[in-house]
Amino acid sequence: MGDNAQDSRSNILEAATAAAQYAHQAEKLSYIAPEHDSEGAGTAIQAEYITPQDPIIITGDGGRLPGVPLAEAEKLNVLKAQIEGEPGDVIKGEAPTDFSPSPERGESPEKGSNKENGTTRKSQEGSLRKSMPPSRTHPLFPPLPLYGPSSISRDLQCMVFRTSSFFLSLGFLGVIVLGSAFTSIPLMFRHIWKRLTFRDPDDERPFNEEEKRRKKARKEQARTWKKEKSRRRSRTKMDDDNEDEAGHGEFIPTEGGKDPIVCDAGYYARRVGLDVEELKVQTEDGFIITLWHVYNPLEFTPMTDAQRAARGPDIFTDSGPSRPGRPKQKPKFPILMVHGLLQSSGAYCTNDDDSLAFYLCKQGYDVWLGNNRCGFKPEHTLLSYADPRMWAWNIRQMGVMDLPALTSRVLAETGFQKLGLIAHSQGTTQTLVALAKEQRPDLGDKLTVFCALAPAAYAGPLIGKAYFKFMRLLSPSFFRLVFGIHAFIPFMMTMHSLLPGNLYGAMGYRVFSFLFDWSDTRWERDLRDRMFQFAPVYVSAESMRWWLGRECFAKQKCILATRDEIREEEREDELEEYYATEAGEENPPSHYTPQHERKPKGATAWYNHQVPPFALWVAGSDDLVDGRRLLRRFEKGREPHVRVVHSKVIDAYEHLDVIWAMDMIEQVGREVRDTLWRTCDVRDRVRVPVGCEEVEAWVDPKDEGLAKEEEEREEGQSGSE
C-alpha cells in the first residue's frame, strides 16, 4: 500500500509539474497573456506543423499565430501530451501526409508516421527534432526571433527598436538617395549638352524611334478618348462555338484619357479593355494576402464581396466547380503570376497591351496575380501592424505558406487540378525554396510548369557593393537596432502615399537604379513612372536580413546550398572536365577521387520526383543574380528530377527587362505563352490560346521512354507469336 500511495503522489506531483510547465510555455506563445484572457480565446493550446520544420500556434478559439522556433513548438506539444496522459513522445494531430518516409528523400521507414492503438505519431516516432528529415538548409534558414504576448517589457522593447530604426534606417535611406542623386549629375549634364548641341539625347536608345511613335499614338488616343466614349458600341452576342473569340474579339477600354499615374492594377487593365477583381486569401499562419484576377468583362461576371472574402486557412481541400457567370464555351487554363522583391504583381500590368499579364489574358489564359504577405496593406486575422510577430517571417514563409495558399485559391476558384506558374526574381526564389524536397515538395503536384523569369537562386556580383557589404557587417542584434523588428524602412511607403505619381516614379527609378544597377535603356520611358507605382511594398526587416544580413543569402551566395557545398560542387565539376579533356584517370590531379568513390551527381539534389517541369528566361546582363549558374546546375545533372522544357539566355537583358523591355513580348511573352500550352495537362478541356494552334504537347522523356519500352515489348511478343 505504501508503495502504491507513493507512486500515486509521485504521479500527481509529475502531473502538476507538467501542468505548470505547460501553462508557462503556453503563456510564452499565446496571442494574449492568459491572465488577461479570461475565456482562453487567445491562449496557445498546441503547435500544428505545416511542414516538419514549420510549426504554427493554434489558440483557444482556433486562431493561428505565425511560426515559432521548433524547440518551443515541440515543448508545448510534449507538455500537452503529458498532461493529457499520453506518452511524452506523442504529438497530437495529423502529420503532413506529404512528408512521410520516401526513398526519394533518403528516409528510412522508422522515421515516418505510423498508427499504433489509434494514435497518430507526427513525422514522427520519438521527438520531432530527432525524426525530422535531415536538413541541409538549416544554415540558410536560421530560427526567427520569438516574441511573446503584449506586456510592458515587450512593448517597451518594441518602442526602443521602432525609435532607433526610424532614425538610423532613415539615415541609411538618405545616404542611398544622396548617392543616387550624385551619380545622376553626369547623366544630367550629358543630357543638357546634347540639347545645347542640337542632338537628340535619346539617339542611343535601342527603341528610340518606336518610343516616339508610341508616345505620339498615346497622345492621340488621349485626345480622342472623350469623343469616342459616347460612340462606343455595345457588345454583340458572343458566338459560343468560337473558342478563340477571347483572343480575337474586341477588348473595349472603359478607362482612358491622360494617365493620372496611380497605384491601381485594375485601372490599367480597364485602359486596355480588361478588368481586375481582388480576392482575399488566408494563409495557414493567419496572414491575409491579396490575389488579383484579370478578366475580360465582356465574358466574365465578377464575384460578390462575400465570394472574394478570405476563407479558412486549410489549403488544397478541393477544387470546386467553375463559378456561375462563366461563358458556356470552354474555360481558359489558369495561370498564377508572382512578383519580385519589394514589388507587387502590379509590375506585370504597367505596359498597356505589352504588359505580360494583359498579353496572356488576351491570348486566352485565365490570369491570376498573387501578392505576398503584408504588401500594400498588412493584414492578419489576429495580429496588428505594431505587433512584432506580424513581421517575424522571411523568404521561407513566403514560399511555404503564401505560395501554396495562392495556388490553392486559384485551383478552388477555377475547378482545375493544376495551374501554370510564372514568377519573377524573388518570386522564383520562394518557388525554388517551396519546391525543395525538404520544404514543401507536394506543391509541385499542383503545377504543370514553373516559368522562371530572371531566376534568383545564386547571387550576382552586385552583392559586393559597399552598401550591401555594410549590411552584411551588422550582427543580427545590431541589424534589428538599425532596421527594426517590424517593417523594413516603412518611411518609403509613407512617401509613396504623399508624393505625386510622376515625382515618386522619377525618384523611385533613380534610387532603385543606383541600388541594383538597372537602367531604363530598353523600357518605354514614357511609362516608367507607372512601373514604380507598384514598388516598394511592406516587407519585414527579417526578410531583408535574410537577403542581405551576415548569416544567409549574402553570405552563402545561394538559396539552397552553403558556400562549402558550392565549392565542393565546383571542385567536382573541374575534375569532371579534367577527366573528359585531359589525361583522364591515367594522370590524375592531386585531389583525385577514384571513380568508385565519387558521389552520384544527384547526391546533393534540391528536388525530388514531385518537382514540375522548369522553363527559364535568364537576363544575360543581370548583375543582381546569376541565372546562368542555375542553368549549369541543371545541365551538369545535379538535379536528376528537374526537366527543363525551355531555357533561354537573353544577353542584352538586365534584371527587370524580362518583364518591362519594349521587346519583351517577342523575347519572352510568346515563348511563355507557348510553354504554358505545351505543358498544359488538360488541352482537350480548355480553349486554345491565340497563336498556339500548332504548338505540340510536351512529352515527359520518362513517359516517352516507358511508352517506347512498352511498344518494343508488344512488338517482341507479336514476333514470337
pLDDT in tens, 165-206: 999 999 999 999 999 999 888 888 888 888 888 888 888 899
**HEC string for 113-134:** CCEECCEECCCCCCCHHHHCCC
Boundaries of domain holding 208: 158-231+245-556
Distance, C-alpha 266 to centroid of its chain: 22
Output 74 or 226, whichever has higher pLDDT: 74
Indicate if 32 and 170 belong to the same structural domain. Answer: no
With the CA atoms of 232, 236, 238 and 239 taken in that order, what torsion angle do they form, in degrees rounded to the nearest 10?
Answer: -130
| Residue 596: predicted pLDDT | 53
Residue that is last in its domain, among 502, 535, 556:
556
Cis peptide before 536 (omega within 30 of 0): yes
Distance CA 211, CA 203 (A): 11
pLDDT at 543 over 70: yes
- Please give the mean pLDDT across all residues of the chain: 84
Would you state the cell numbers that stand for residue 263, as one nine-digit string? Answer: 497605384
Distance CA 274, CA 259 (A): 16
Annotated active-site residue 655? The verdict is: yes
Indicate if 383 and 474 belong to the same structural domain. Answer: yes
Contacts of 114 (CB under 8 A, 6+ apart): 121, 124, 125
Question: Residue 593 domain-assigned?
Answer: no
259-315 pLDDT, tens digit per residue, is: 899 999 999 999 999 999 999 999 999 999 999 999 999 888 899 999 999 998 999
Indicate if 105 and 226 belong to the same structural domain. Answer: no
Question: Residue 718 domain-assigned?
Answer: no
Do the strands 275-282 and 119-120 form a parallel or antiparallel pair, or are they unpaired? Answer: unpaired
463-521 pLDDT, tens digit per residue, is: 888 888 888 999 888 999 999 999 999 999 999 989 999 999 999 999 988 988 889 99
- Considering only CA atoms, give the Rg of the chain: 28
Indicate if 217 and 110 belong to the same structural domain. Answer: no
105-159 pLDDT, tens digit per residue, is: 333 333 333 333 333 333 333 333 333 334 344 678 988 999 999 999 999 999 9
Distance CA 334, CA 167 (A): 45
Contacts of 354 (CB under 8 A, 6+ apart): 524, 662, 664, 665, 669
Question: Residue 114 domain-assigned?
Answer: yes
DSSP category for residue 446: G
Annotated active-site residue 293? The verdict is: no
Positive or negative, the CA dihedral 95, 99, 102, 108 is negative
DSSP category for residue 57: E
Question: Residue 618 domain-assigned?
Answer: no
Question: Residue 165 domain-assigned?
Answer: yes
Distance CA 481, CA 476 (A): 9
Distance CA 18, CA 110 (A): 28
Question: Residue 404 domain-assigned?
Answer: yes
Q: Which of 37, 285, 622, 674 is catalytic?
A: 622
Question: Residue 547 domain-assigned?
Answer: yes
Indicate if 68 and 183 belong to the same structural domain. Answer: no
Residue 280 pairs in a beta bridge with 290
Would you state the cell numbers that stand for residue 561, as one nine-digit string? Answer: 546550398
Indicate if 300 and 172 belong to the same structural domain. Answer: yes
Residue that is last in its domain, among 534, 556, 578:
556
| Residue 16: predicted pLDDT | 82
Listed range (128-132, 394-398, 520-524) with the worst mean pLDDT: 128-132
Residue that is last in its domain, among 541, 556, 571:
556
- The CATH number of residue 471's host domain is 3.40.50.1820
| Cβ contact 395:543 at 8 Å | yes
Positive or negative, the CA dihedral 377, 381, 384, 385 is negative
| Residue 76: predicted pLDDT | 94
| Cβ contact 313:64 at 8 Å | yes
User: What is the band of 577 on the pLDDT scale with cuts at 50, 70, 90?
Assistant: confident
Q: Which of 54, 293, 655, 674 is catalytic?
A: 655
Distance CA 72, CA 25 (A): 8
Listed range (234-248, 254-268, 611-625) with the worst mean pLDDT: 234-248
Listed range (328-332, 374-378, 580-584) with the worst mean pLDDT: 580-584
| Cβ contact 315:405 at 8 Å | yes
Distance, C-alpha 24 to centroid of its chain: 36
Indicate if 103 and 193 belong to the same structural domain. Answer: no
Indicate if 167 and 80 belong to the same structural domain. Answer: no
What percentage of the chain exceeds 70 in pLDDT? 81
With the CA atoms of 391, 393, 399 and 402 taken in that order, what torsion angle do they form, in degrees rounded to the nearest 10?
Answer: -30
pTM for the structure as a whole: 0.87
DSSP category for residue 330: P
Positive or negative, the CA dihedral 148, 149, 152, 156 is positive
Would you state the cell numbers that stand for residue 530, as one nine-digit string? Answer: 507607372
Cell 492503438, located at residue: 117
Distance, C-alpha 522 to centroid of its chain: 26
**HEC string for 625-691:** ECHHHHHHHHHCCCCCCCCEEEEEEECCCCCCHHHHCCCHHHHHHHHHHHHHHHCCCCCCCCCCCCC
Indicate if 533 and 477 belong to the same structural domain. Answer: yes
| Residue 85: predicted pLDDT | 74
Indicate if 259 and 222 belong to the same structural domain. Answer: yes
Question: Residue 624 domain-assigned?
Answer: no
Indicate if 15 and 90 belong to the same structural domain. Answer: yes
The predicted model gives 691-711 an average pLDDT of 74
pLDDT at 568 over 70: yes
| Residue 516: predicted pLDDT | 87
Number of domains into which the chain is organized:
2
Question: Shortest CA distance to 400 belongs to which of 97, 67, 91, 102?
Answer: 67
Q: Which of 425, 486, 520, 529 is catalytic?
A: 425
Indicate if 99 and 195 belong to the same structural domain. Answer: no
Distance CA 162, CA 11 (A): 48
